[in-house]
A and B are shown apart, each in its own frame.
Chain A
Amino acid sequence: MHTWTLLVALLAAAALAYHVGRKRAIATAGGSGRINTLHSLPAYYGFYAAMWAAIPALLLLGLWLGVQDQVITTLVKASLPPQSVAELTPGALGLLMNDVKNVASGNIASGAVTPAIQTAADHYARLQHLARWTQWLLVLAISVAGMSFAWSQTRPTMRARNRVESVVLGVLILFSSIAVLTTLGIVLSVVFESWQFFQKIAPSEFFLGTLWSPQTAMRADQVAADGAFGAVPLFTGTLLVSFIAMMVAVPIGLMAAIYLSEYAPRKVRSVAKPLLEILAGIPTVVYGFFAALTLAPVIRDLGEQLGFAVASESALAAGLVMGIMIIPFVSSLSDDVINAVPQAMRDGSYALGATQSETIRRVVIPAALPGIVGGVLLAVSRAIGETMIVVMAAGLTANLTANPLASVTTVTVQIVTLLTGDQEFDSAKTLAAFALGLTLFLVTLTLNIIALHIVRKYREQYE
């Protein structure tokens, strides 16, 4: 007698309703030869009946499951002997109720099972049993009621197709709003936690302070720093790594795009473009250990030979590898916008005696520039939000430096280190991660909005 059997029963009811509704529609039309007198095809009347059989019953079931446990718990609480409950704190009462539930379902209770608990448990089990039966009866009754309502509605003039389609529309809206609401929920939770953080640490210290040392003592006898939450070194670190990444990705990506869209023969293009896009498919963790284990030592050795002091985890290594990761973003977005420049532009330039490279430099690239800038901005927001490569290759020390050979840390790396492991959610250290996350989110959101705006404006120009 589980809930899922009830769901199966509802499904069966819906199937039955479909069949009955369809038959009923044909009957009201006066036989299968007169289907054309119906407003909609018989199958729509079937779907209409199935919807009435399933949807109200499902809504009731969902509502029931939402409140059943609370109602039963309240009833059992009320039935407990008042003198044994009176002096309990809310927490202790919760524990007592847990024991009652455990006994009722045959699990081990936390302490000795007193007669009072036993009685309450029996009462709990009885109520649950009753609730389950009532639930079954009620849900199936609603289903049958829905079915008979559909039956009574079925006549040739009923616009079953339109009604079914409006329900389908409702379902589509429901599912699309799930994505939007989830985003909204995430944003709200981040904003809420950040709010708590800014109650403890002043925003001016967070956004302007230059010392980042979030480790705080968890117990009174621990020796640890007091905790400093100046996020400026994280912002500069993020910017430094992203800047190096863009220095790699923009020229390489752009030139690759120009070659592929303007010069490459079709055969080369059909092979090279997918190959380039494979770069985008490599998991970032693979890039990360490539950066940490292969590139970083190479850079350090090279730097030492040239007489530079290079940290074993340098911003340069992380930035270079991140740049390689972003190349396909830049190249495929640029490729798209370059291809969108009308051939008439190129023809006009050729007809004035311009060579191919002059045409590209003076006409195609300027015409595609807004789109290219949009693509680059999208790549920047991707670079800022990138986590795995910097976690593995950039380091953890918050240095306020512009030296690419030094170890820096980024916003994303700090969020990872602040939140991995067991954390207490009332300390500024944990909440700092949410403030960082909010900052990151706002920056990338702004970049994306600007980029999409530029790209859209550019598209309109040629359509």
Chain B
Amino acid sequence: MNALASEIVRDTGAVSAADLARGGHFSGTIGDITTPDPRMVCREVNVWYGDKHAIKDVSLDIGNHQVVAMIGPSGCGKSTFLRCLNRMNDTIDGCRVRGSITLDGQEIYDKGLDPVPLRAQVGMVFQKPNPFPKSIYENVAYGARIHGLTNSKAELDALVETSLRKAGLWNEVKDRLDQPGTGLSGGQQQRLCIARTIAVSPEVILMDEPCSALDPIATAIIEELIDELREQYSIAIVTHSMQQAARVSQRTAYFHLGDLVEVGETTQVFTNPRHKLTEDYITGRFG
């Protein structure tokens, strides 16, 4: 694996935005795509929507107890890549995925592997809060009920409480667990969705622009929460806000037109980007 990885990591540094715009060959990702303690390992992942080549040869590790931020202009493929990690792309017609993605060494695109339990291990929080039209309690208990995680009402109650506590929502909703989840504010709904995801004890949590529909205060609360969750889970987050990426993540990956342009420590990527495209994006020249 290391041999393969070192082969893929080629520090060319010579590809300019103009080259890419002209359709010139993109020679490879800059920076270290590996981490010492990876949870998920993605190698040469390609995605097509019909004829559209949405992700081109992307290789990236998702580190244990680490937040990886994926940034880049709209349509660059960061959300598509995220959805590959729990096979959510399977639900889209005409979407093909090639390459290797492993979770704890297990190939997730293996023919024999059922994507359904995988999604319990790799949970996902979406851009727009999408609580089910059920009570707050039932929203959190949903996954546990499906997977039969608890044996008694008391255990389920305890699971709902711990999940809501971890999501920092317990104190706000403990007196109205039987009220509909759709009646909460946007930020509370998003934390409810996080609690719902935590309740099935995933190993990895994917977040697809989790704060883009929220106001700054709700955003700050979620960002704080992400930082706490890192101690127990591995997190991959797609964001349009570079400040958010800088605040919550340890590693940052910059995507451009389906290519993974640059990966590195968040501080390095934001203070000293090595690729022209990354620099242009971060300094706000486009995107």
- Which residues on A are within 8 Å of B, measured CB to CB? 266, 342, 344-355, 358, 362-363, 366-367, 461
Contact = CB atoms under 8 A, between A and B. Distances in A.
B142 interface: yes
A352 B142 contact: yes
10 contacts: A344-B126, A344-B130, A347-B126, A348-B131, A348-B196, A349-B142, A351-B123, A353-B143, A355-B116, A366-B134
A217 B120 CA distance: 78
A355 B177 CA distance: 26
B88 interface: yes
* Interface hub of B130, B131, B143, B197 (most chain A Cβ within 10 A): B130
Given A348-B196, A351-B86, A362-B142, 10 more contacts: A347-B126, A347-B130, A349-B132, A350-B119, A352-B120, A354-B116, A354-B142, A358-B146, A366-B132, A367-B133
B130 A352 contact: no
B171 to A, nearest CB: 24
B146 A367 contact: no
Contacts of B243: none
* Interface of chain A: mostly helix, strand, loop or mixed: helix
A351 B132 contact: no
B88 A354 contact: no
Contacts of A349: 132, 142
A352 B146 contact: yes
Nearest to B143: A352
A32 to B, nearest CB: 52
B128 A353 contact: no
Contacts of B62: none
A348 B116 contact: no
A345 to B, nearest CB: 6
Contacts of A362: 132, 142, 145-146
B193 interface: yes
A352 B119 contact: yes
B133 A353 contact: no
Contacts of B131: 348
Contacts of B119: 350-353
A355 to B, nearest CB: 5
A47 to B, nearest CB: 50
B200 to A, nearest CB: 6
A342 B129 CA distance: 12
Contacts of A352: 119-120, 123, 142-143, 146, 196-197, 200
B189 to A, nearest CB: 11
A323 B249 CA distance: 60
Nearest to B119: A353
B117 interface: yes
Contact of B146 (A342, A347, A353): A353
Contacts of B146: 352-354, 358, 362
A367 B134 CA distance: 8
* Interface hub of B88, B128, B143, B146 (most chain A Cβ within 10 A): B146
B147 A353 contact: yes
B124 interface: yes
B132 A353 contact: no
Contacts, number: 69
Contacts of A344: 126, 128, 130
A461 B133 contact: yes
Contacts of B145: 362
A246 to B, nearest CB: 25
A165 B282 CA distance: 56
Contacts of A342: 130
A344 B147 CA distance: 21
A332 B193 CA distance: 32
B132 A363 contact: yes
A350 B88 contact: yes
Given A344-B130, A348-B193, A353 B200 contact: yes
Interface string B105-125: 000000000001111110110
Contacts of B272: none
B91 interface: yes
Given A353-B116, A353-B120, A345 B147 contact: no
Interface string B178-201: 000010000000000100110010
A258 B117 CA distance: 24
* Interface hub of A348, A350, A351 (most chain B Cβ within 10 A): A351
Contacts of A366: 132-134
Contacts of B117: 353
Nearest to B114: A355
Contacts of A350: 88, 91, 119
Given A353-B200, A355-B116, A347 B91 contact: yes
A345 B88 contact: no
Contacts of B200: 352-353
Contacts of B134: 366
Contacts of A358: 146
A346 B118 CA distance: 16
A358 B91 CA distance: 15
B147 A351 contact: no
Nearest to B86: A351
A352 B119 CA distance: 6
A352 B142 CA distance: 8
Nearest to B199: A352
Contacts of A354: 116, 142-143, 146
* Interface hub of B88, B133, B182 (most chain A Cβ within 10 A): B133
Interface in B130-171: 130-134, 142-143, 145-147
B132 A348 contact: yes
A347 B125 CA distance: 10
B132 A345 contact: yes
Nearest to B93: A266
A125 to B, nearest CB: 77
B124 to A, nearest CB: 4
Nearest to A266: B93
* Interface hub of B88, B116, B121, B182 (most chain A Cβ within 10 A): B116
A339 to B, nearest CB: 15
